[in-house]
Amino acid sequence: MLTSSYRLILKEKRTVRINKYIASCGVTSRRKADDLIQAGKVAVNGAIMREPGYDVQPGDEVLCEGRKISLEVGKTYILLNKPVGYVTTTSDDKNRPTVLDLIQDEDRRIFPVGRLDYNTSGLLILTNDGDVANKLMHPSKELDKTYRAVISGILTRGKIARLEKGVDIGGFRTSPAKVEVLKHNRNSTVVDITIHEGKNHQVRRMFKAIDAPVQTLERIKIGELVIGRLAVGGYRKLGPGEVEYLKSI
């Protein structure tokens, strides 16, 4: 059932494109909403809807994956320190734990924004604001992401220079990375690396390309959002300033 404020929005605008409607309901981002529509997982007024250009009318009943969805005014923004061993999805067909299993006291439906590998820990944003999620994941934003890696061996100046120029990770050449060595010994090096792309396993592939395999990897920063001293597995709601920052991206 639509809230009164959104009834007014639909009345004034008459219609809302279905992928934006799904995103605004807090189900997922607009891009992933298109995938759900094309997969036949969205129904409008009892009929499967496969037209991504459909405009939701006032009074339409929309189901997504069999669940009735409706627009809500309240938005939630959570920063999670994801542990290793959790998948960054809302469900998993292999019955592995998901990041939503870590959020115990949030009754609004939220979803993770972007990816963080199963074997990677660190900063992850969860929200029910599909518009903000879409902004964060859009390639044109080129949002900086900083990772702290422990790699095998010593990271030589030559290897650092390769990362700073960009490396080929198999059909894709990365943009120049920012690299800062924090400490090292004969067996390993602790290094912060900042990138703005989001290819699958990108940081691990970059270090592999320079023969410096990753032992552990943690994302510590996205744009201006930092993980700080948040415990592994812990989470907090974003403050007003952080929320405004996300909306301004």
Written as one string, the DSSP assignment of 9-34 is HHHHHS-EEHHHHHHHTTSS-HHHHH
| Structure tokens given for 97 | 């734990």
User: Which has the closest alpha carbon to 109: 193, 191, 179, 26?
Assistant: 26
Domains in the chain, CATH or no CATH each? 4-69 (3.10.290.10), 77-139+226-248 (3.30.70.580), 144-222 (3.30.70.1560)
- Mean pLDDT taken over the chain: 89
d(CA 89, CA 92): 7
Of 55, 117, 131, 192, which residue is the catalytic one? Answer: 117
Q: What is the pLDDT of residue 13?
A: 45
Q: Cβ distance 155 to 181 under 8 Å?
A: yes
User: Alpha-carbon dihedral of residues 162, 82, 228, 157, nearest 10 degrees?
Assistant: -10
Q: What is the pLDDT of residue 73?
A: 53
Number of CB atoms found within 10 A of residue 167's CB: 19
- Model confidence band, residue 1 (pLDDT cutoffs 50, 70, 90): very low
Q: What is the pLDDT of residues 5-51, one digit of tens each?
A: 344 344 444 578 899 888 877 788 888 899 999 999 999 999 999 99
Q: Cβ distance 226 to 220 under 8 Å?
A: yes
The H helix count followed by the E strand count for the chain is: 7, 15
Q: What is the pLDDT of residue 11?
A: 41
Q: CB under 8 Å to 125, separation ≥6 — which residues?
A: 77, 78, 79, 80, 112, 113, 114, 133, 136, 222, 225, 246
User: Which has the closest alpha carbon to 135: 227, 29, 243, 221?
Assistant: 29
Percent of the chain's residues with pLDDT above 90? 65
Q: Cβ distance 169 to 210 under 8 Å?
A: no
Q: Cβ distance 48 to 92 under 8 Å?
A: no
Asked whether residue 204 carries a pLDDT value surpassing 60, the answer given is yes
Q: What is the pLDDT of residue 21?
A: 86
Q: CB under 8 Å to 133, separation ≥6 — which residues?
A: 23, 28, 29, 111, 113, 125, 127
- Model confidence band, residue 104 (pLDDT cutoffs 50, 70, 90): confident
Residue 117 annotated as catalytic: yes
Segment among 101-110, 157-166, 178-187 with least mean pLDDT: 101-110
> Span 125-135, mean pLDDT?
91
